[in-house]
Structure formats: structure tokens, C-alpha cells
Amino acid sequence: MDNRKYLTVSSLNRYLAAYIAQDVQLSNVLVKGELSNVAYTSQGHIYFTLKEENSVIKCVIFRSLSAKVKFKLEDGMSVFVEGRIGIYEGSSTYNLYAKNIQLDGIGALFQQFEQLKVKLAQEGLFNQEHKLPLPTMPARIAVLCGGNTAAQADIYRTIKNRFPFCQMFFFPVKVSGQQAVEEIISTLNKILPLKFPLVIIARGGGSFEDLYCFNDENLARFIYDYPIPIITGIGHETDTTIADFVADYRAATPTAAAVAATVDVNSLIVDISSKKAKLLSLIKREVDIAQKQLAMLENNYILKNPDKLYASSRMSLDFMTSKLNHSIKSIISENKASFATTHHSFLSLSTGFISVQKSEIATKQLIINRIIKSKLEKSQMRLDHNLQNLDNLSPLKVMNRGYSIVKKDQNIIKTACQLKTDDEIVVTFSDGSIKARVE
């Protein structure tokens, strides 16, 4: 029988795990490789394999550290992984337990940028309906940019030339590096109680890495939630950052930001002058129309010859009066004859018969009187109606509304050019006339 001492598998694995754990070199290693077999678990852990051409190592990031990863791991990415080497006793395999992972080089930054851009877009942070409207003519503007920079000078010069009434308040901040994010957020918090109508965040051009602080997720969310409209003017025309997407207005450059923030006072003056000219032209046209209408009234045949207005009506009135008188005389004559015949008959009849005849005569006389009264009332109504029509057309009615007639040497004056200084004129109103002298 073999008396040698054998180890169990679990004992061997525990020994190796403890041995590796004591190795300082393996407690913190930096490994570069390509990701494969990336798997996110429901518990929040991330499992993946780090490989190169002929070698692989299994890796894991536990939930407590996975939230610190700023981008989504995908197969094929080239990454730098920092962590410790340890043995998983259950399968006798050693793993790299990662605590930090970064993308390799500028491509890494761009990939982080694209992933954050997609993430925030899906959350709706770039949607137009969430953007605040810019004030038309802000009296004050807060400007966050580098101190004594070309961007600051461009903004100051542009606003001063376009809208010199606007007060500019410059707040110098770092515009590159991670500290820039903290300074911009801190400054935006500090100026909030000052209630500026508008804020500009600007910096001049630079490399993708130089501008990368404006791709920070915390800064993007802070700008999105800020209650005051923000204009960004970051880099050159071809540069675009996450801050530009969440801002209320994205300008291509600092100068373009200053243009977007203000109106051009010279353009305003030109616009006002144009509208003034149009208004004066409209007023002149209305005055010309009114003068033409007045001239037509002055030359109106009826108004110039008021007697002609009544001629036809007077003839109609005379005819109707004559007809009425004739009808009255005819009725009276007919009834007189009837009365005479009746009276003669009464004389030949008895007293009782005479009484009856008298009653009939009284009745007929009443009827006659009613007929006469009715005809007189109708004739009077027609007469009143005609007189009212005549009165409505009278020149005096026109004069009662404020018009007057100006005469010189008994001639009606129609235009101002008919008069000269010291001419004596007579002005006729509805209630009389006065003499006047032209000065």
C-alpha cells in the first residue's frame, strides 16, 4: 500500500488560490486584449474573454464595479483591463477579476461618445420639444468660456456691434479636461440666482480629445435640466459635442453663438424705417381717397342746386292738394244735394217720419266726416313723408354734420389754390355765416 500523502482536488485549488492571492505582482495587473464572448447577467455582472492571437483569459466584472464602466462592452473591442488574478476553485480555472476597463486610444473616446449619444437620444434628451425658446432681445447675457481667450473676444466684439444695449457678464472656466466639467456645473449653479435671461457656453476649436469634456454625461444632463436657455458655441463648424445636442440652441462657433443670442440693431432700424414708409404711404392713400370723395360731393348736382331737389316733390304736392280739394268739394256738393232733397221730403212727412230722416242724415253726416278725416289724414301722411324726404336731402343736413361752404365774391371755393393771402371770404355754417380773411 502507498503510504504517500495525497491532496484532495479542493485542497489543491485552495492552496493555489491562496498562493496566487499572496503574489503582489498578480494583485494588480494591466492587460491589453480584444473582447469576445461578452455576456451581461441579470444579476448585473459582466463576463467576457480577453484574447490575443494565441492566448485567452476569462474575465469578470462584478455588479459593484460594472456601473463604473462608461461604455457598453462589445465583441471585437480593443481594451485595457485593470484587475487581479484569482482562481475559481469550482472549475480549477484562473480568471482576471477586473475593476477598471478602458477602450484603446482615440477610437475608444469616439466609441464612448457614440454610445452616450445613442443612450441620451433614446431617453429623449435631444428632442426639440424639450428645448427652451431663446429671448428676442436679452438685456443681460452670462458667458462661460476660457478667460482671455479668442472665443471671449469674438463674443464680446460680436454682441457689442450687433446689440450694444446688452450687458455681458463673463465667467471664466476651464474648457478642457475633467476639471472643466466640475467648473462649468459649479458656475452654472452659482449664477442661477442671478436670473440671467440667457447663458452662452463657448470655447474655440481643438482636437477631439480637447473637446471631450463637453461629452460628459453629467454635464449633458445638467444642461438639459437647466431652467435658463443655453446656447453652445463649441469648437469649429465641424465639431459637435453631446453638450451641443442637449443645449437649447447649438451654434457652430463662439461668434455664431453671439449672433444667435442677439438681434442686429442696424437691421431693426432698417426694418422700422421700411414699415414707417409703408404706413405713411397707406395714410396718404387714404387721405387722397377722402379728398376725392369730398370733391365729388362738392360737385354733386343736387347739392349745388338744392332747389332742383324740391321741384318734382312740389309739383306732386300741388297736384295732390288740388285733387284733395276737388274731392272734398265734390263730396260736400253731393251731400248738400242729398240733404236738400231729404229736407224737402221731411217737410212733407209727419213729425215721426222727419225724426227718422234726421237720424239717417246724422248717420250719413258722420260717415262723410269720417271719410273726409281719413282722406285728410292719408294726405297729411304723404305730405309729411315727402317733406321728410326733402329735408333729408337738404344741404343744411350736410352742413349740420360739420361741413361748411366757403365763398369769395359769391363764388364757391373748391380748392385751397383758389385763395391767396388777405382774400376776404364768407364761410357759411348750418346756423349762419361769418366773414374771414385768409392769412
Each residue's pLDDT expressed in tens, for the chain with a length of 439 residues: 566 777 777 887 787 777 777 777 788 888 888 888 899 999 989 999 998 877 889 999 998 888 888 778 888 788 888 999 888 776 778 889 998 888 776 566 777 888 899 999 999 999 999 999 999 899 999 999 999 999 999 999 999 999 999 999 999 999 988 899 999 999 999 999 999 999 999 999 887 778 889 999 999 999 999 999 999 999 887 788 999 999 999 999 999 999 999 998 888 888 888 888 899 889 989 988 888 888 887 777 666 676 666 667 777 887 888 888 888 888 888 878 777 777 676 566 656 666 777 788 888 888 888 888 888 888 888 888 887 777 776 666 666 777 788 888 888 888 888 888 888 888 888 778 888 888 7
pTM for this predicted structure: 0.47
Residue/partner pairs of 62-67 with CB below 8 Å, 24 or more apart: 62/97, 65/98, 65/99, 65/100
Distance between CA atoms of residues 399 and 432, nearest Å: 11
Q: What is the DSSP letter of 124?
A: T
Contact 144, 171 (CB under 8 A): yes
Q: Which residues are bridge partners to 97 per DSSP?
A: 60, 84
- The class (CATH top level) of 124-263 is alpha beta
CATH dotted code for 9-103: 2.40.50.140
Q: Is 357 exposed, middle or buried (0-12, 13-18, 19+ CB in 10 A)?
A: middle
Q: Where are the beta strands (DSSP E) in 9-130?
A: 29-40, 46-51, 56-61, 78-88, 93-103
Alpha-carbon radius of gyration of the chain: 54
74 to each of 29, 44, 68, 376, how far by Cα in Å? 22, 16, 16, 114
Q: Which residues are bridge partners to 59 per DSSP?
A: 48, 96
Distance between CA atoms of residues 134 and 141, nearest Å: 11
Question: What nine digits make up the cell of 216?
Answer: 460628459
Residue 35, classed as helix, strand or coil, is strand
Distance between CA atoms of residues 421 and 147, nearest Å: 73
Using the Cα atoms of residue 255, residue 256, residue 261 and residue 262 in order, give the sign of their dihedral: positive
Nearest to 260 by CA among 199, 196, 192: 199
Nearest to 23 by CA among 73, 94, 116: 94
